[in-house]
Structure 1
């Protein structure tokens, strides 16, 4: 009598594959919820959209939404979350013999050249709309400062973690923020990124030059 052949053996996966898949799924869920929220915010205005509307659009419950995003403002600012430790990553990953400040300067200039939205030098319609949403909503601006505070803490740790490092981190993050906001305001007023680029580079060099003169230990 013939026997039914056994089912094919299941591949043996690495022990951490499950956790890696879960983390990727979690990040995709974060992104999907945030994208649904931002679409609504851009269409109706931040204040006119309820958390319940966002949950419905993302096809999840309100309790589930709050497990991912503790505050409504975080739904919009999630796109900036990856940048909280960007400066610290630049410092810790810099080339040998390169100073922290020079690594950050080069990184910012590269961002200008690539029209990175974080530098404010992007005239892509969707980026401009997102920036108008952020800077045109007081509660989002207030929440944005909390993100920048965490960026300062992360950079201060990368610079050494002492009082001097914290002062330096605060100054560096402030200069980057001021440069980016100045670029965005000129873009929002109708200037094109390509035309503004030389001025943005000059302003960045001036800003980092002022930092260099006052932050000798990190320059």
Structure 2
């Protein structure tokens, strides 16, 4: 077996374990609520050790936002369909932000991620904590940075970057506020 095959198998097993954690946690969260579900409960339901849980998520609350990184990857991929740069004088950076946000908003209705089922629990968590859990803040900052980097790669005119970054931040903030409301 080649190193690529081992890496492929390892990655598939890792993804399968992560999926098992998400499925188990989603079921338990919907049955018991987040506060009524422990990491030990999730690990047992997923058929893994407690330590294995932490290889995939820093905290149980992060499972509620399991879809974030995949959504960001799909939004970045949507930029591939846009023209590079601002050759026609139009505000293509804003078009890039609109394309990214359209994908992110559409993905919140993806039934495979079960994001709609967990929306009330996410809103409850954020309301009870009087803000975002610290691990989620880090993940959202990383997501925004990845999106900004992708936009800058697609629209290399540095003059557009401040407005493009601000526009993206405002849109992401508005989407998050709407999701919680």
In structure 2, the residue matched to 1:149 is 141
Match of 2:64 in 1: 76
| Alignment-derived partner of residue 67 in structure 1 | 55
Q: 2:161 maps to which residue?
A: 165
Q: Write out per-residue CA displacement over residues 81-112 of structure 1, whole angstroms, 9 at most, x where no aligned residue.
A: 21244444434x24334634313324544666
CA distances 1:6-36 after superposition (whole Å, capped 9, x unpaired):
xxxxxxx665122112111111111111211
TM-score normalised by structure 1 residue count = 0.61
SS at match of 2:63: helix
Structure 2 gap ranges (5+): 86-91
RMSD over aligned CA atoms reads 3.4
User: Which moves more between the two structures, 168-177 or 151-160?
Assistant: 168-177
Aligned to 2:39: 51
State the structure with more CA Rg: 1
Higher RCO (C-alpha under 8 Å, 6+ residues apart): 2
1:214 is matched with none
Q: What SS class does the counterpart of residue 83 from structure 2 fall into?
A: coil
Q: Mind listing any 5+ residue stretches in structure 1 that lack a counterpart?
A: 1-12, 186-219
Moved more, 151-160 or 53-62: 151-160
- Equivalences for residues 1-219 of structure 1 within 5 A: 15-91=3-79, 93-97=80-84, 99-109=92-102, 115-117=106-108, 127-138=115-126, 139=129, 141-142=132-133, 143-158=135-150, 159=152, 165=161, 168-179=164-175, 181-182=177-178, 185=181
Aligned length: 166
What is the alpha-carbon distance in structure 1 between the residues aligned to residue 40 and residue 145 of structure 2?
A: 33
- TM-score, normalised relative to structure 2: 0.71
Between the aligned partners of 2:32 and 2:101, the Cα distance in structure 1 is 33
Asked if the contact 1:40/1:54 (under 8 Å) is kept, the reply is: yes
Cα pair 1:41 1:49 within 8 Å, conserved: yes
The alpha carbon displacement at 1:129 in A equals: 2.8
